[in-house]
């Protein structure tokens, strides 16, 4: 499907200034302190007062991980159709348009190639602002095509998840993306290319239950929320109270779901170390 946006829209500008009309201060959800936005950015979007992690947009994540001047956008110019003509609080088409406008993305993922401390790779980065980073048919296709690109070029594939799961507005088509991405992942196995999955806040439901859990190495960013169903749903189902650290990155590490929990500041060198190893 041809698209309407400028081909240049995804250029990652490492020197980009903050939008002029945005608020200068943000309130930390964890400690309620007001933080000067510039200070927060300089601190890698971690609260300087209490250490709480603010989630990164896909572009911010790329800037924090990929070497300057090396990122090449490979996101396919496709956007979701509305096969179910879905309408909840508002029509899905409207939701899509709003998210596209807010994020300047076609959907909740950016795929590209670049370097991490001079290691070439293909990377796919999800953006939670776009309908909760949910995986519909476009996201599934972008992940699969990113994997195919990595396979063609003989490069490692890295997925940075930040997703609430499958996109309910596409129903069964969204659930099929779990199968699609899982099958695509096998191409890397056949080509003996590494797949590194990085779970960030949040990696849940259909994404956690498929592609995000299939890394050769799985890293979790500190502060990540990792799990399938939400705490409330589970507690109501099993009639038990869950431990306080349930679904935290540390909990996922203790249960063997992830291989390491990494601070945001150390994520780039840690990723480079893993790629170096392979
Ligand atoms: Zn704070």
Q: What is the CA(46)–ligand 1 centre distance, in A?
A: 8
Q: What is the CA(237)–ligand 1 centre distance, in A?
A: 33
Domain segments of the chain: what residues? 21-54, 56-277
User: Cα(11)–Cα(70) distance, rounded to whole angstroms?
Assistant: 11
Residue range 123-144, pLDDT digits in tens? 999 999 999 999 999 999 999 9
Query: 10 Å Cβ neighbour count for 43?
Result: 16
Phi-psi sector, 205: left (phi>0), alpha (psi -120 to 50), beta: left
Predicted pLDDT at 230: 84
> Per-residue pLDDT for the chain (278 aa), expressed as one digit of tens each?
433 344 444 555 656 655 555 678 989 988 999 999 889 988 989 999 998 888 899 999 999 999 998 999 999 989 898 889 999 899 999 999 999 999 989 999 999 999 999 999 999 999 999 999 999 999 999 999 999 999 999 999 999 999 999 999 999 999 999 999 999 999 999 999 999 999 999 999 999 999 999 999 999 999 899 999 988 889 999 999 998 889 999 999 999 999 999 999 999 999 999 999 99
Exposure string for 148-170, b = 16+ CB within 10 A, e = fewer: ebbbeeebbbbbbbbbbbbbbbb
Q: What is the CA(38)–ligand 1 centre distance, in A?
A: 15
Instruction: Give residues with Cβ within 8 angstroms of 65, minimum separation 6.
Output: 116, 123, 160, 267, 268, 271
Q: What is the CA(27)–ligand 1 centre distance, in A?
A: 8
- Tell me yes or no: is domain 56-277 CATH 2.30.33.40: no
Nearest to 6 by CA among 102, 104, 148: 104
Q: What is the CA(155)–ligand 1 centre distance, in A?
A: 38
Phi-psi sector, 193: left (phi>0), alpha (psi -120 to 50), beta: beta
């Amino acid at each position: 499907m041809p698209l309407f946006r400028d081909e240049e829209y995804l250029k990652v500008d490492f020197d980009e200034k903050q939008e002029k009309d945005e608020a200068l201060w943000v309130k930390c959800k964890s400690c309620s302190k007001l933080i000067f936005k510039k200070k927060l950015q300089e601190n890698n979007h971690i609260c300087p007062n209490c250490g709480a992690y603010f989630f990164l947009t896909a572009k911010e994540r790329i800037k924090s991980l990929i070497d300057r001047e090396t990122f090449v956008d490979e996101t396919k110019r496709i956007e979701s159709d509305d096969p179910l003509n879905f309408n909840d609080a508002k029509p899905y088409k409207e939701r899509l348009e709003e998210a596209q406008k807010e994020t300047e993305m076609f959907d909740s993922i950016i795929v590209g190639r670049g370097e991490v401390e001079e290691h070439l790779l293909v990377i796919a980065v999800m953006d939670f602002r776009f309908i909760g980073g949910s995986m519909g048919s476009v996201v599934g296709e972008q992940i699969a095509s990113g994997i195919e690109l990595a396979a063609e070029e003989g490069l490692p594939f890295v997925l940075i998840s930040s997703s609430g799961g499958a996109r309910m507005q596409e129903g069964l088509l969204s659930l099929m993306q779990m199968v699609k991405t899982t099958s695509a992942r096998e191409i890397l196995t056949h080509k003996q290319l590494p797949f590194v999955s990085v779970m960030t806040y949040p990696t849940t439901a259909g994404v956690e239950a498929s592609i995000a859990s299939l890394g050769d190495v799985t890293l979790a960013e500190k502060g990540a929320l990792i799990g399938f169903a939400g705490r409330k749903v589970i507690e109501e189902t099993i009639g038990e109270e869950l431990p306080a650290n349930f679904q935290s990155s540390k909990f996922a590490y203790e249960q063997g779901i992830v291989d390491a929990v990494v601070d945001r500041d150390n994520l780039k060198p840690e990723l480079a170390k893993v790629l170096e190893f392979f």
